[in-house]
Amino acid sequence: MHPSDKFLLVRKHIFSSFRLHGLKSALNIVDNYRKNNDIDDKHYKGIRAELGFFSSYKKDFGLFESLDSGNHADFIGNIKGSTYGIDVTTNLDFKDLETYTENQKDGYKYLIALVNPETLKMEEIFNINFPFCADCGGRMIDILYLEPSGSDKDGLINYSYNQRVVTVCSFNVEHSMSKRESNFMTADFSSYINEYVYNLNFGESSTPLDIAKEIDRYAISNLKFFRKELNSNLMACGSPEYIVTNPRDGEGYNGTKIYFRRPFIKNDIGDLYDFDFRDLE
Ligand SMILES: [Zn+2]
């Protein structure tokens, strides 16, 4: 028997025991399969996360198991009147928007549910049904763009920051659109990092790893806040970046740096754009 067919049978057994005897007993069966080497670590982690998700949201989302591996979903569910294929994962790094694109073109909708492998509770759920670009068929993905503060006429920073939602075309950045704006006291990335380093206690030094972690933390907390405030499906964060072309005289031009993005759009949203998002209409 093909290994993937074998796993489908194992999965069927595990879910039928869940229905008969509940979560705890199903998890015991998963442990036994692992002990006997009938499933590998990856499937072990995956099926436990699926069971945790299923037991929490079975009723709310009207879930049933998907039995066809070709549809890239573990469950089919219904949320607020729409039907979705739901892909459950413990690690977003293994997910890629590309996997779902063909089916999405046929009208299927997907969600990715991130489940904590220890607690088996859902941490976040992502709506990955980004519209297709009307010009080129790329994906139109909302990013949060944090602009630096302006300055007054003496050149002093006046702490007036601007944020906007830019919908970025994954194929051609020039098809991007500026959608909405706000003016919270939220610093752009480079000001924020400077402040963070400046505020470290005397004698403390920051490693690149600390700074990378702090950037992720800052980005995620802003994505959560502005997702509601600007009513957008935000998936990445960026700020202007001056790109130096001549190190001798500092000559260059304004581009855009993406400081953070959800892992499943790593092939759709770049690191650095030769394009100043402030030029968008
Ligand atoms: Zn496009």
pLDDT of 83: 96
Please provide the average confidence, as pLDDT, over all residues in the chain. 93
How far does the centroid of ligand 1 lie from the alpha carbon of residue 171, in Å? 5
**Does the structure show a pLDDT above 90 at 6?**
no
Q: Does domain 3-127 have CATH number 3.40.1350?
A: yes
For residue 136, give the nearest of 177, 171, 107, 168 by alpha carbon. 171
How far does the centroid of ligand 1 lie from the alpha carbon of residue 180, in Å? 19
Per-residue pLDDT tens over the stretch 197-256 = 888 877 777 888 889 999 999 999 999 999 999 999 999 999 999 999 999 999 999 999
Query: Region 54-62: what's the mean pLDDT?
Result: 96
Per-residue pLDDT tens over the stretch 102-129 = 999 999 999 999 999 999 999 999 999 9
**Distance of alpha carbon 278 from alpha carbon 275, whole angstroms:** 9
How far does the centroid of ligand 1 lie from the alpha carbon of residue 176, in Å? 7
How far does the centroid of ligand 1 lie from the alpha carbon of residue 166, in Å? 13
pLDDT of 167: 97
How far does the centroid of ligand 1 lie from the alpha carbon of residue 268, in Å? 11
Report the 10 Å Cβ neighbour count for 225.
15
How far does the centroid of ligand 1 lie from the alpha carbon of residue 266, in Å? 17
Residues with CB under 5 A from ligand 1 (ion): 133, 135-136, 138, 169, 171-172, 175
* Residue spans per domain, the chain: 3-127, 140-279
Could you list the beta-strand ranges (E) of the chain: 64-65, 75-79, 82-89, 110-115, 122-127, 140-147, 162-169, 177-182, 234-246, 251-261, 272-273
How far does the centroid of ligand 1 lie from the alpha carbon of residue 32, in Å? 50
Lowest mean per-residue pLDDT among 134-143, 148-157, 175-184 = 148-157
How far does the centroid of ligand 1 lie from the alpha carbon of residue 101, in Å? 15
How far does the centroid of ligand 1 lie from the alpha carbon of residue 139, in Å? 7
Q: Kindly state the tokens that stand for 198.
A: 């400046």
User: Number of C-alpha atoms within 13 angstroms, CB side, residue 201?
Assistant: 0
Tell me the percentage of the chain whose pLDDT exceeds 90: 82
How far does the centroid of ligand 1 lie from the alpha carbon of residue 169, in Å? 5
How far does the centroid of ligand 1 lie from the alpha carbon of residue 177, in Å? 10
How far does the centroid of ligand 1 lie from the alpha carbon of residue 136, in Å? 4
How far does the centroid of ligand 1 lie from the alpha carbon of residue 75, in Å? 31
pTM, rounded to two decimals: 0.92
